[in-house]
Every structure is written in structure tokens, then in C-alpha cells.
Structure 1
């Protein structure tokens, strides 16, 4: 039997990163993804940490929608073996052609070891070995072949280079526009580059300054070395310039301006991670404001 061709996911220019979906009920999750699709966003991204299993959640989201791409943006490579991941990806791509994107994440030592009971390995060789196993996986629906449509959650130059070599491209979360320039240079002109922008939306920048600072401070532990390489020296505590670089905050116009800066710097797709005072509730009101500003 001839292997099935994999339909290319069309992410669109703007998406939503819905980090709060694990805290929603199933009914709330269905309502959230329907809202994102109805507003016209191209892709709904979500992470995998210690909540719902990523592939099952992707199936739930895909079954409730008609058009939107669902991206499991940071599936933990310690959460399932590569054979299981390959079979799940091929199953979802068969059932929902062109609407599922697999994003692979090299995890964190505490999650890999304390939560999942594995030994955390060096990120680059561990990810490379996982990709080898993914490509060699024998299982999946009849007539399907290994899928080329995967991205690597990447920030440092080594993982970005691996994404250019072994994936469709890379997904970068929570980094300044200067990093988008760097990532595009490492990936080259043809690899797909998706970035997720941290956002705090409010009536003005003075209103959003404090939550933006809290958001930036929470993002720093995994980014200090990279940020220093980009020229940010005052990191602990973060200087105002660094807060503004990591978190787009203020009005919908302020956030839209940052989105276009990422696109001009070489991003193919920008997803918006809205941080609010009620993190367990999808920010549907804010999504509507941003859709009105950013979408045709």
C-alpha cells in the first residue's frame, strides 16, 4: 500500500497559546477552542506539563472544531516513548488531515525525574535519539508513513540547529524580538519559525506594568544565559527594558505592534499567551479584543 501523504498544516499568521487549558473542565475546554476558532485565529497551541495527556487533549480539541490547527506545542519526550508518539501523531493526522502539529520538548529535570521517574539526559543527544526512534517507529494506521510535520521547542542555538536539520522548524516561547532575528539566522530561510509572545492586556501600560514585571520574573530562570547573550545585563531583578522585551503589555495596539515586530524579524507565525489575574479561566474577552486588532 502506498503511504499516505501528510497534508501540510496551515498555521496562519496569528494563533493563541492556551496555557490554562489544563485547569479547565472538559466543557470549558470545548468552549475555549470553539471561541478561538470562531474568532478566526489560525492555530491553538497548548503545553504539556503535569495536566492532561497531550495527544488525548489534542484529539478532544480537534473533535470539537472544523478548521483550526491544533498544536501540541511542548509534548514532553519523557511522557511517552517515541513509538507511541509516532503512532499517536499518525493517527491524529489520518483522522484530521492538515490540522494537527506535534511540538516536541526536551522537558525539565524535575519533571523527567521526580514526576515521571526517568533519568534526565543531555537535551541535544537525547532529543536526537528520540527523533531517530520516531522516524524508525513501525506502528501507526495502515498506509501511513512517518510524518514530516513536527517542530522542536527551542531557544538555544544547538536545539534551533537541530530543528533546522530534523524538523519542520522550531517553536520559541517567551523571548524578545532580538532572539527571533537570531533564531531565523540559525534556522535558515526555509524552516518554519513559530514564536509565542507573553502578553498582558489592559487599558494602558501603567495599568499592566506590575503584572508584566511578575510575568517576566517568572520566565527568567530558563532564559538568563540567552538573555545576557542578547545584551541584557540587569536581569535579577529585571530592568524595565528587559520586562518590556519579554512581555508585550498595554493595549491591544501595543500587543499588535509587538506581533508585527516578530513577523518582520523572521517569524512565520506568532501565538499570543495572555496572562491574566485568573489563570484558570480562558481569557476569551481579551482574545476577542486582540482578534479585532490583529485579524482581518
Structure 2
């Protein structure tokens, strides 16, 4: 038995935004509640870290709920991750959710010099450690991927932050359903959501009430050629990561994306990106007029996402005014 998807009461935005300095984004953040946004969700790749922008936003717009989507489970020690999450939960009482995930070999190994080993077990172990640490009790445990001795969180937040686990395929979706407070989806179409939710809901049980967050890449422009060219570059970069390749095979895109994977493996990245069909780009990247973008984002919610989180991509227009227009284009209002 699965939970029945309902219309979202929350609508997020990926933060910080590109194109203007972080310190200059205060006015834009302050305007978000009036546009219907309820959440800000950070990301962590090679730009800002996941926590600093949210700390600023917690002061700039205290109406907004905050979340990380995601913090890698490898790039901080378990204790430091617990401390950073607890600090933000203390700064924004009852308004912070910690999203964690395995990330990718490029981010973990190539950029942070950490071995990318056993991502399922590492994610499970960090999740279990955080649960224990947030109680304020001393943690001494031999996990399968690391050990902790006599760690106790000195500043225990009054509101324990929910922990969400990023998931793609059934194994991680089931782990998130069993042990986390929700899951975070990425790089899928609205039509793919029921496939992921079927696995998640079956494991979580009926009426579980857990969050299903989705990061949604949006390029609000009617320049179709521009949007598709950008989409092809991003899809080629992400969907050639082994975990994402297997994810899309599971979703049924194996045949459509086989030329991408074959040419990428042969070192011909230009041909690889060019081989991605228009229908795949249009499925995974929201683009078009503001009305179309809003309808497409809403379709994620209609299919079972409880918190849609648009991630704005650059449009042909530049500058603060264009960025403000883009934010409005992906707002629920």
C-alpha cells in the first residue's frame, strides 16, 4: 500500500543563486515569502558550502524553512557534520532539515581526496551516527565504514533536525524510507516520480508522512536552442556518473542514452552530448515561458513530490534584474 500524493504545501528554491555575490542576495531572499516560497535548499559541489548561505538566510528571512540538498557523507568527519547541523538547527529552531547523500566520485575523491568506497554503507552509517549524536548521548560505536569513540555533542539543539537521505535506486530509497525522515530526488522527470515513490512508499508503510524533496533544474527562457544546448551539457556531465547512469537505466532510458555513455567512454564528449535526444532534455530540464515552467514544476508535486525545489540555471539575459525575473518565473505565485 502506498501513500496518496497530495498537493504541496511547500515550495522551495535552490540557494544561493548564481550571478550576484552572496552578500548582495539579501533583498531577493527577503522577497521570497511574498512570492509564495516556503523553503530554501542549499547544495554543495564546487561553489558555496551547504551551511553558510543558509545561516545568512536564517536571519534574512526567518519565515523560510531551510535544508541542505545535499551535504556529502564523506567530505566531513561524522562529528563535524553533526556539529554544523546542530549549530544551524540552533540558529533556526524548528526550521532546518539536514539532507545528506553519497555525492559522486568526482566531488569526493577527485576534489576532496577522500576514497569513495561503499556509498550505501557510508550513507547508512552516517545517518545512524547522526541519529545517535543528536540525542546528546555519548556515541562510541564501530560502524562498518568508520569508528567513533566517546563523542558527545555539547550543544544539542532544542529541535532535533530531521535527516533526509538522497536516493536514486531501490536500495537507497528503501534505506531512506526505513531510517530517514524523507528522501531527496534529483535528475528525474515528473513522470519518473511515481516509480521512485512506489519503492519508497512500499518500504515506509501507509500514511508515513515523510518528505519527498526533488531538485528540479529550470532554465526559464523561451530560447529553446539555448536551453537544450545547456541541458545537454549538464546531462552529459551528470548522467555519465555511474550511479546516475544506472538510475536512468532503471527508469527506462537505457536505449535513449546508450550513445551518450558509449561516446563518453570513448573520450568523445562533444559527440556524446550531441547524442542526447531532445525528448530526454525536455523531460529532465524545465524550460520555456514562466507559465510553462510553473506548470511543469507543479507536475512534480502532482506526481508525489512534497517539496519541489527549482534550481535556476543561467538564461541568455544577465544581471540582477534578469535574476529577479527568473526567480519570479519559478515561484508558485
If the length of structure 2 is used for normalisation, what is the TM-score?
Answer: 0.75
**How far does the alpha carbon of each residue in 1:130-162 deviate from its partner, in whole angstroms, 9 at most, with x for none?**
1222223220425748x3501112212211111
Q: Indicate how the Cα distance of structure 1 residues 207 and 124 shifts in structure 2: closer, same or farther if over 3 A, else same.
A: closer
Structure 2 partner of 1:3: none
1:279 shift after superposition:
11
Q: Quick check: 1:175 aligned with 2:188?
A: yes
Structure 2 partner of 1:134: 130
Contact in 1 for aligned 2:10/2:38 (Cα 8 Å):
yes
If the length of structure 1 is used for normalisation, what is the TM-score?
Answer: 0.84
Contact in 2 for aligned 1:20/1:279 (Cα 8 Å):
no
Q: 1:81 aligns with which of 57, 61, 77?
A: 77
Listed as ranges, the gaps of 5+ residues in structure 2 are 1-7, 134-151, 202-206, 261-274
Structure 2 partner of 1:234: 256
Contact in 2 for aligned 1:212/1:249 (Cα 8 Å):
no
Contact in 1 for aligned 2:222/2:287 (Cα 8 Å):
no
Contact in 2 for aligned 1:198/1:273 (Cα 8 Å):
yes
Q: Looking at CA atoms only, which structure, 1 or 2, has the larger radius of gyration?
A: 2
Quote the Cα distance in structure 2 between the aligned partners of 1:142 and 1:130. 18
Structure 2 partner of 1:6: none
Q: Secondary structure at the residue paired with 1:170?
A: strand
Q: Quick check: 1:103 aligned with 2:99?
A: yes
How do 1:135-174 residues align onto structure 2 when only pairs under 5 Å count? 135-137=131-133, 138-141=152-155, 144=158, 147=160, 149-174=162-187
Contact in 1 for aligned 2:310/2:330 (Cα 8 Å):
no
1:94 shift after superposition:
2.6
**How far does the alpha carbon of each residue in 1:65-99 deviate from its partner, in whole angstroms, 9 at most, with x for none?**
22011212111222322222223322322331222
Q: Indicate how the Cα distance of structure 1 residues 54 and 140 shifts in structure 2: closer, same or farther if over 3 A, else same.
A: farther
**How far does the alpha carbon of each residue in 1:227-276 deviate from its partner, in whole angstroms, 9 at most, with x for none?**
23222222222212211110111112222222222112111111111211
Q: Indicate how the Cα distance of structure 1 residues 177 and 151 shifts in structure 2: closer, same or farther if over 3 A, else same.
A: same
Contact in 1 for aligned 2:41/2:67 (Cα 8 Å):
yes
1:39 shift after superposition:
2.4
Moved more, 121-130 or 36-45: 36-45
Q: Indicate how the Cα distance of structure 1 residues 248 and 135 shifts in structure 2: closer, same or farther if over 3 A, else same.
A: same
Q: Indicate how the Cα distance of structure 1 residues 102 and 142 shifts in structure 2: closer, same or farther if over 3 A, else same.
A: closer
Structure 2 partner of 1:273: 311
Quote the Cα distance in structure 2 between the aligned partners of 1:62 and 1:278. 31
Q: Secondary structure at the residue paired with 1:91?
A: helix
Q: Indicate how the Cα distance of structure 1 residues 26 and 196 shifts in structure 2: closer, same or farther if over 3 A, else same.
A: closer
Quote the Cα distance in structure 2 between the aligned partners of 1:192 and 1:241. 29
Contact in 2 for aligned 1:151/1:167 (Cα 8 Å):
yes
Quote the Cα distance in structure 1 between the aligned partners of 2:46 and 2:287. 28
1:103 shift after superposition:
0.7
Listed as ranges, the gaps of 5+ residues in structure 1 are 1-10
1:168 shift after superposition:
0.9
Q: Quick check: 1:187 aligned with 2:200?
A: yes
